Structure 1
Amino acid sequence: MDKRSESQKRQKTKAAVCVAIIGLLILVYGVRTYQKNELLLSKSTVKSAQSSDSENQASKIYVQVTGAVNQPGVYQLKNDSRGIDAVNAAKGLTEEADGEAVNLATKLKDGQKLNIPTKTQTQQNQSSGTTAAGTININTASKEELMTLPGIGEVLAQNIIDYRTKNGAFSDPSEIKNVNRIGDKLYEQIKDRIAV
């Protein structure tokens, strides 16, 4: 009977050891899996936070507002902002501002300069397409005056007139690059000869 009970004791001990080993293995595996999942989760959280930050940065633009506004300066705006948003950021137009001279519905680009002229400046520019410095005002110049610029023939002069008729006055000379068939190369040739 002693041998039998001793044998049963050994079997129970072996079974307990096996159960303990299996339990330990399950515990170790569970801890490792948990740690792996935590690491993956933390990496994905960091990535999503980084992509969210970069999306926020990409959805912002900076625009300089000058001229007849109450608070000229550089403003951070949403990526899809229009001229009116920039004017509102600059606390609105002054009493002397000629709000009709600039197309405030124009979509803005990062780094753009939006200049709001006064009514007096608009009248002076309209009286002559050529400014005192001998440059051509691309907002008021006639087709013939535009054709005096290097590389600007009859077709491009008409394209400039059509563009400003459709979109309103240019707020910065570099905006002439938005005109069909006027790129960086041609702009470099004429940039010192044009004004707004």
Structure 2
Amino acid sequence: MQAKSKKLIFITILLTGCIITGLISSNDKEKPLAGSSLLQSAQGAVTSKAAQAKTVRVQVSGAVLEPGIYDVPASCRVVEAIAAAGGLTENADSERVNLVRKVRDGMQIRVPVQKAARTSRTQRKNAQATAGYSASSTKKVGSTRAGAEKNNSAVQIVRINSASASELQQLPGIGPALAQRIVETRNSGRFSSVEDLLRVPGIGKAKLAKLRDYVEVD
């Protein structure tokens, strides 16, 4: 009977120890969970600060002192991006720009010039273009006239039976290919009259009429 009682007491003590050990283990597992929650909160705070410090890239052009591409805080406005580009020029038309608009990544901020300055610049460009065209036209007409006078004075009477290909090219309307055809036709049979030039491929009655005053048969 005493042995049975001792056995029951031992089992009771053993069960009590198991329960206590289980409770201690449960508490130990809960502690890391609480620490993990604190860690997550700290990470969230860091992420929030990083988001606040985020920058975006914008292009500022037009009537600003230093046009270009700038990295600015994501929370800034157009007026701050313009300030990063050196500010407005004297002829900037700031009334046509929403200076308080928030910027966004990839945004282009173009500051227009005042209408009076824009009109003056356009008129100046048109005047320069007109002057350049006039000078170019005068030069072209003059050179063409001088070239015509030079050609007229250079053309002399050419003997079609003995002239070389280069001499034949001095005739009006005769280029290298046609001069060579005249030589080849002459080699197959000399020209007995100016009209025999009609035997040359590429010379018709109209071209012969232009050549008649500049050629002779020798």
Compute the TM-score of the two structures, normalised by the length of structure 1.
0.42
Compute the TM-score of the two structures, normalised by the length of structure 2.
0.39
Q: Which has the higher contact order (CA 8 A, sep 6+)?
A: 1
More helix per residue: 1 or 2? 2
